[in-house]
Amino acid sequence: MNNISTTPFSVNGIDYNPPAKPIVVICMDGSADEYLDMTMAHDRMPNLKKMVLQGYRGMVRGALPSFTNVNNSSIVTGVSPAVHGICGNFFYDVKKDQEVMMNSSEYLRTETLLAAAANAGRKVAVVTAKEKLRDILSYQLKGIAFSAEKADQAKLETHGIENAETIIGHKTPAIYSAEASLFVLRAGVALIKNGMADFLYLSLTDYMQHTYAPDTEESLAFYEAQDVELGKMLEMGAVIGATADHGMNAKVKADGSPNVLFIESMLTTQFGPGFRVICPITDPYVKHHGALGSYVLVYVNNDSNIDEVEQWLAAQPGITEVYNKEKGCRLLEQPADRTGDLFVLSARDVVVGKTPADHDLKALDGTLRSHGGRYEEMVPLVISHRLNAKYKMRAQGDPRNFDVFDFTVNGTH
């Protein structure tokens, strides 16, 4: 790799001083620490092990709600949802009176460090498993940005790359597969190898984690295959920072059946009509989780009722946290205008939804495993190179998953 720019840049109050090495940040979507633990215990992640031994492994706190768009947006901006504005996959636009996906960069309120790195002379590439993330991650980016899901449709003018399948050497994968994530990593390897990128963000998808527990052969083989690609990047001299957007827990009763609280139904039964429940996990990909996560927002038509509803909800078994707007925005770092009157989080083994009719549990490919709440907030952080004194200190206390670029770029030289 020649001519890698080391020009410093600053975004959202954070200074980045990149080394003359390929920088690769990987968001291992849904990678609760147990996935790494279990695969490493089977000696099937030798390259991740090398990273841990040469570099750093620890736990970091993600952004809440512990959803994909929220945390991907935080990772590429370095700031919380209160600042960047992406607080779910889905939200209720009060002004338009519409429930809409939050997949578009029009909802992003701050610039990304990826765009800034490109402006500073780095060859930036974003590869995401799901197309839904591409628009946000590539906001104002002069570089490569495409998804595994639609790799075969990437064009030079719009995606910064064409003939992606040929370059990568793999066909566009099915989105509900291990291959969807592996394609992203293989794309990263190919882009570095071909000198097409030296500053990469690779964002995987969590279909496998929603479907398989850490000790299943499917999961072990999936992480083993990821590790092969890590090895190739390390060989090419990359500095790698790997983290996750959220953890993953089984959301089941003792008999293995889904453990769901339908919040809108419960509120209507208790108080009558007048509630809108928004499930910010909702996305176009239904086989993962049936739009059931451990976090919902409640809009209350009758404002005078809010305190009473809050108290009642907080007393329901399986509900662990209920906040009003002021407290929820502060404690959960949320933007006020895109959140409801009440913020509801559920227990480690519980998901919350709207009404039974709104969720198709038959679409699930396995046990209900999901995320969104407090018990999917903590995720692993692995850095391939030894942390310097300043970042070793910073790794103590309360580091965040969205510090991963800061650690990877600034922490190892």
Smallest Cα–Cα separation from 144: which of 170, 168, 171, 172? Answer: 168
Stretch that binds its own copies, among 94-102, 234-242, 333-341, 373-381 (CB under 8 A): 373-381
Which is nearer to its own copies, 139 or 391 (by Cβ)?
391
x/- binding map, residues 376-405, to its own copies, per CB under 8 A?
Answer: --x--------------xx-xxx-------
165 lines the binding site for its own copies (CB under 8 A): no
CA 341 to centroid of chain Cα atoms: 25
Site for its own copies in 312-341 (CB under 8 A): 314-315, 320, 327, 330-331
Kindly state the smallest distance separating residue 22's Cβ from its own copies, in Å. Answer: 24
Site for its own copies in 59-98 (CB under 8 A): 59, 61
Kindly state the smallest distance separating residue 295's Cβ from its own copies, in Å. Answer: 16
Residue 153: CA count within 13 A, CB half-sphere = 7
CA distance 119 to 114: 9
Collect all residues with Cβ–Cβ distance below 8 Å to 287 and sequence separation of at least 6. 176, 207, 363, 364, 365
Stretch that binds its own copies, among 38-46, 73-81, 134-142, 287-295 (CB under 8 A): 38-46
Site for its own copies in 257-276 (CB under 8 A): 259
Helices (H), 81-177: 81-84, 113-119, 134-137, 156-159, 164-168
121 lines the binding site for its own copies (CB under 8 A): no
Determine what percent of the chain falls in helix, strand and coil, rounding each to the nearest 5.
Answer: 40, 20, 40
Stretch that binds its own copies, among 164-172, 246-254, 270-278, 337-345 (CB under 8 A): 246-254
367 lines the binding site for its own copies (CB under 8 A): yes
53 lines the binding site for its own copies (CB under 8 A): yes
What phi and psi, each to the nearest 5 degrees, are found at residue 101?
-70, 150
Which is nearer to its own copies, 78 or 160 (by Cβ)?
78
How many binding residues for its own copies (CB under 8 A)? 45
Angle (nearest 5°) at CA 209 between 205 and 211: 110
- DSSP character string of 179-203: HHHHHHHHHHHHHHHTTS-SEEEEE
Kindly state the smallest distance separating residue 233's Cβ from its own copies, in Å. Answer: 19
CA distance 413 to 411: 6
| 199-231: b (≥16 Cβ within 10 Å) or e | bbbbbbbbbbbbbbbbeeeebbebbbbbbebbb
x/- binding map, residues 276-315, to its own copies, per CB under 8 A?
Answer: --------------------------------------xx
CA distance 179 to 229: 12
Site for its own copies in 176-215 (CB under 8 A): 213-215
Residue numbers at the binding site for its own copies (CB under 8 A): 33-34, 36-38, 40-42, 49, 52-53, 56-59, 61, 213-215, 250-256, 259, 314-315, 320, 327, 330-331, 347-349, 367, 374-375, 378, 393-394, 396-398
